[in-house]
Amino acid sequence: MTMKQDPRQTLLSEVADYYTGKLAEFGESPRGVDWNGEEGQMLRFKQLCKVIDADAPFSLNDLGCGYGALCDFLVPRFKSFEYIGIDVSEAMVRAAEQRHLSKPNARFVIASEADKVADYSVASGIFNVRLGRSDAEWQAYAEATLDALHRTSAKGFAFNCLTSYSDKDRMRADLYYADPLALFDLCKCRYSRNVALMHDYGLYEFTMIVRKMP
């Protein structure tokens, strides 16, 4: 009898294959993780890192870390931190490990969620490319992933999504455009009363910051 593969595992395998292909085509670059360029990538990192309390050492889980560009972003900006990069693409994780061999505070894991709780977690761009899935399927995947971010974050987490307020003539069928108000409500009701929605930094997306209550 043939065993059916878990639908979530099928989806994650498709995601891994997609980004492995991008890395093979474009290398360790913003386009290699499906961003248009470095300027936008840096702007996204700046928004996501607003979740971090810069006055104290911290640990951070980077879900969907790619080749570890966020770790490079953190180094000149924060004095003391532990970075754990998590990605479903083995090729991405291997590239990240080689790129950060000189950083003893960086560790990389092939997985769909973190293997331990950190102070903070971030997820950049992992909800954008839905790979032919319906809105309902992709929303269920996104919510399950947010639950995982919540479970593995002691002080807070941040993520970004393409926005449903994008210009209709520029929206692509293969991308997922989330409703920022619906996700804000979900985060407020499910995770914390301390939630910030940032939709004012010039890109067709938004960033959500969820801070855990003391």
Q: What is the mean pLDDT of the chain?
A: 90
Lowest mean pLDDT segment, chosen from 31-45, 80-94, 139-153, 196-210: 31-45
CA distances from 66 to 122, 128, 140, 193 (A): 13, 14, 23, 31
Q: CB burial class (10 A; 0-12, 13-18, 19+) of residue 51? A: buried
- Considering only residues 14 and 85, tell me which one the structure prediction assigns the higher pLDDT: 85
Task: Please state which CATH number belongs to domain 7-211.
Answer: 3.40.50.150
pLDDT digits (tens, 9 = 90+) for 53-64: 888 999 999 999
Residue 3 confidence (pLDDT) above 50: no
Whole-number pLDDT of residue 77 = 94
pLDDT digits (tens, 9 = 90+) for 111-169: 999 999 999 999 999 999 888 899 999 999 999 999 999 999 999 999 999 999 999 99
Distance CA 209, CA 47 (A): 9
Distance CA 120, CA 150 (A): 9
Domain ranges across the chain = 7-211
